[in-house]
Amino acid sequence: MTDLRIGLVGARGYAGREMLLLVQRHGHMSLEFAASRSSAGGSLSEAQPAWTTDDVFVTASPEDIARREVDALVLAMPNGAAADYLDVIPEGIVVVDLSADHRFDPAWAYGLPELHRGDIAGAGRIANPGCYATAAMLALAPIADRLEAEPSAFGVSGYSGAGTVPSPRNDPALLADNVMPYSITGHMHEREIGHQLGRSVRFAPTVAPFERGLVVTVLAQLRQATDVASLEAVYREVYEHDPLVTVDTAVPLPRDASGDVGATIGGFSVDPADPHRIGVAAALDNLLKGASSQAVQNLNLAFGLDPLAGLR
């Protein structure tokens, strides 16, 4: 088949840099352009050393982007920035938005392939999930219909999750020998998880002094008692046909998730004093399965390609 022409806006950020590599390595995609507000005219290889051509970043104004012919556009920009582009993008171009702008919009497919594959296939507008939300929902979905009470999730992420704009949450000096809880109540991903699962969830995030990767620990109470073997079996059955989700007995670690295009769920535990109370953890790379490799999964599904194309 002819290569899909991909446009990338926000290519200079952490997730954008990863997206460059995934498109470059994909057997059925070619990069038509990479746009950056801050680096227009600069070499792609300066931002992404593994880039193998002499391409440069183009200007990122909505008008410039609208004039370029592509099959799909990936918006890797901060929250609130997508609207100006969507107003001028021609019909027929598939859009994957990595921001939170459309995750609650029923007109957009919610791009978590393991849970919404049918909605994503052939979709023209796809909202990529948040990184924490992806891990939490993968950990909660297999037991969502068994929950007796509101579950809680605790997330720890590397500082790349805070983006490239300087802030206390991506300052290595502040994070050295330290962790930093933030948005302890009302975090956007808490609402996202609850909205998608159809029930309330408590979620608290923390940033730690490593660059990438995250782990979410879920604590829940089930209506019926269980044991570790039975709990693990539920997850293995649910994700049996999802090759980017690994179910393991061991607790998954952010260090091991770094560089992995998928997610790992494990660390299954049951409270011996109350076998209704369980724990499970999910780890992934916040820049890959939490952003760019998930976007490639979504593009593959939208265009009817092998879901793992470019990701094996």
Residue 31 near residue 51, CB atoms below 8 Å: no
Catalytic residue among 131, 222, 282, 302: 131
pLDDT tens digits for 245-291?
999 999 999 999 999 999 999 999 999 999 999 999 999 999 999 99
Label residue 100 by pLDDT band (50, 70, 90).
Answer: very high
Q: What is the pLDDT of residues 74-90, one digit of tens each?
A: 999 999 999 999 999 98
Active site annotation includes 64: no
Q: Return d(Cα 69, Cα 71) in angstroms, integer.
A: 7
pLDDT at 196 over 70: yes
Tokens linked to 207: 């940033």
Average pLDDT for residues 175-191, to the nearest whole number? 94
Supply the pLDDT for residue 52.
Answer: 77
pLDDT exceeds 70 at position 216:
yes
State the DSSP string of 161-176. GG-SS--GGG-HHHHT
Which pLDDT tens digit goes with each residue over 102-160? Answer: 999 999 999 999 999 999 999 999 999 999 999 999 999 999 999 999 999 999 999 99
Nearest-CA neighbor of 152 among 180, 185, 182? Answer: 185
Query: Which residue, among 278, 280, 281, 152, has the nearest Cα to 224 in the 3D structure?
Result: 278
Question: Does the pLDDT of residue 98 top 70, yes or no?
Answer: yes
pTM for this one? Answer: 0.95
Distance of CA 29 to the CA centre of its chain: 20
Q: In whole angstroms, how far apart are CA 114 and each of 46, 59, 306?
A: 35, 35, 14
Which residues, other chains included, contact 266 with Cβ-Cβ below 8 Å and sequence gap of 6+?
A: 247, 248, 249, 250, 251, 252, 280, 281
Please name each of the domains of the chain with its CATH number. 4-128+291-302 (3.40.50.720), 131-284 (3.30.360.10)
